[in-house]
Amino acid sequence: MNIKGKRYTRRDIIKGLATVPVAGALAYGLWRKSRYDRYRSGRLSKELNMSEPVSFEPPKTRGGDPLRIGLIGYGIRGEQLLRAAGFAHPELLQSWKEYAAMDSQDKRYSDFLEQDDLNIVVKGVCELFDVRLERASVASSNVGREGLNGKMGEPAKRYGDYRDLLAADDIDAVIIASPDHWHARMVIDAARAGKHVYVEKGLSRTLEEVYAIRKAVKESGIVFQLGHQGRQTESYVKAREAIDKKILGKISLVEVCTNRNSPNGAWVYDIDPRGNEQTIDWRRFEEPCEIKHPFSPERFFRWRCWWDYGTGLSGDLLTHEYDAINQILGMGIPESAVSSGGVYFYKEKEHYVKEVREVPDVWNAVLEYPDRDLTLLYSATLSNNRDRDKVIMGHDASMEVGSNLSIYACPESTRYKQQIESGLIRPEVPIYSYIPGRKDVDAVATATEQYFAGRGLLYTYRNGRRFDTTHLHIAEWIDAIREGKQTSCNIDQAFEEGITAAMATIAYKENRKVYWDRDKEEVV
């Protein structure tokens, strides 16, 4: 179409942004389970050749001396982090190998084999549950991919107190995957000990801890990375490109969410029957708590359900969504925050919860940025898993962002008015789509995996190749240590997030609107 002497195409509209066509992701969980059951029973033995090697691209290896790592916390996330760094428990790898042999769409084993060798060694592991400590020790002695061939190295030294691990001369950096109520103490102590830090979100439980963490990291000069693997998600990079090209027009509203519908998604995790007062160091677990509680396996394994230990939906899941939008829009700390919600579904007598849950399972927050004429809305439920993407709404177009990205022109757009009237642009059809390129569909087994995969938190694609985003995030941190550079989720980014999450939590607990004094750096 010719407008004012210029012929416009969709290529003109997106100004050079490329689209990558690809088949959509499919969930094969039930089918894979059926085939695996058949395999285990022997009915697939004639179809499968378990001795056939899995093909993969040779991984890259970092040069120089090995970086010596300590791991603090080996629960669900700690095990994932150690695996992303290149050390997985042999039992897990064997199960992945078996799944891959009977399902060509299951890429977990080949993904692990294709991870870059970060050239690190695990010298110490710290964990308060003896069973996990033993498992961490075995995983740490598995010499990366060579361990698949039966080559085992020296197991990492076991520590019951993280401070002893930090005092060790043979550890350069630490990965912290402890419950949230330990984060501030551990980060500060690690920084003062000169150890580089990778710490999981939420950054801290309280506002005061956010300031203390920033001070310690800045003064020490260590390389710091907050555990937001979404920083590695390719669709977020493409989203930022679209924003920079002003495709959406003036942006006034952003909606983000969390939808889950399982006990695991609501942090009602399984309780290990081996956990008792002899195998769990309960006194040390509760050391940072102002009020001490009698030994409780439920509190130990489901710690996110209580404010004594966790940061709730604000610190745990809002932060994922906030970090993604902050990465795309760079809006920083809001001027004000309000929030509301409660425990609506996972009540005391339901779902085998023996103690009263404190942390909401339904929660909403409104973060306002009047200097940008922008509001960020967050809503969450842990008892419904309806799929909802992040949506960034501008006057001319809306952007839906997850692991994929789509931009739709607004029917009342000023910028695209003539193109819409002419039929060149149809509001119901994306004017730009980005779906990471890959040859095969993705088999995502569980509801939890589907949730994280759909939000760009499980894996991403680069040059058509699938990567574990956590591996990429840890690799970035390792490379930054070696090269003396900043990470993408450094202490400045962590501070913005920590303050924002604290504001939303304070607003909920005190039932009021809270404000950020930018000049004084105070919450009022």
Q: pLDDT-derived band of residue 15, with 50, 70 and 90 as boundaries?
A: very low
Share of the chain above pLDDT 70, in %: 80
Residues 6+ positions from 331 with CB-CB distance below 8 Å: 325, 369, 372, 374, 376
Per DSSP, helices labelled H in 297-416 are 297-301, 312-313, 319-329
Residue 152 CA to residue 201 CA, distance in Å, equals 32
206-239 burial string, b = 16+ CB within 10 Å, else e?
ebebbbbbbebbeebebbbbbbbbbbbbbbbbbb
Helix, strand, coil content of the chain in percent (nearest 5): 35, 20, 45
| pTM attached to this predicted model | 0.85
Q: How confident is the model at residue 82 (pLDDT cuts 50, 70, 90)?
A: very high
37-41, 61-65, 116-120, 170-174, range with greatest mean pLDDT: 170-174
pLDDT over threshold 60, residue 146? no
Cα dihedral sign, 124-125-128-129: negative
The one-letter amino acid code at 11 reads R
Look at residue 64 in the predicted model and tell me its pLDDT.
Answer: 83
Report pLDDT digits (tens) over 27-80. 233 334 444 343 333 333 333 233 333 344 455 778 788 999 999 999 999 999
Residue in this structure with the two tokens 């378990």, named with its chain if needed: 50
- State phi, psi for 91 to the nearest 5 degrees: -65, -40
The pLDDT value recorded for residue 467 is: 81
Phi, psi of 67, rounded to the nearest 5 degrees: -85, 135
| Band (151; pLDDT cuts 50, 70, 90) | low
Beta bridge partners of 256: 378
| pLDDT reported for residue 79 | 96
In this predicted structure, what is the pLDDT of residue 414? Answer: 96
Please state whether 407 falls in left (phi above 0), alpha (psi between -120 and 50) or beta. Answer: beta
Domains and CATH numbers, the chain: 2-24+232-287+296-517 (3.30.360.10), 29-38+53-231 (3.40.50.720)
Average pLDDT over residues 182-187: 98
- What pLDDT score was predicted for residue 388? 86
**Mean pLDDT score across all residues of the chain:** 84
Question: Where are the extended beta strands (E) located within 343-413?
Answer: 362-369, 374-381, 390-394, 397-401, 405-409
On the question of pLDDT at 442 being above 90, the answer is no
Strands 514-517 and 336-342: antiparallel
Residue 197 pLDDT:
98
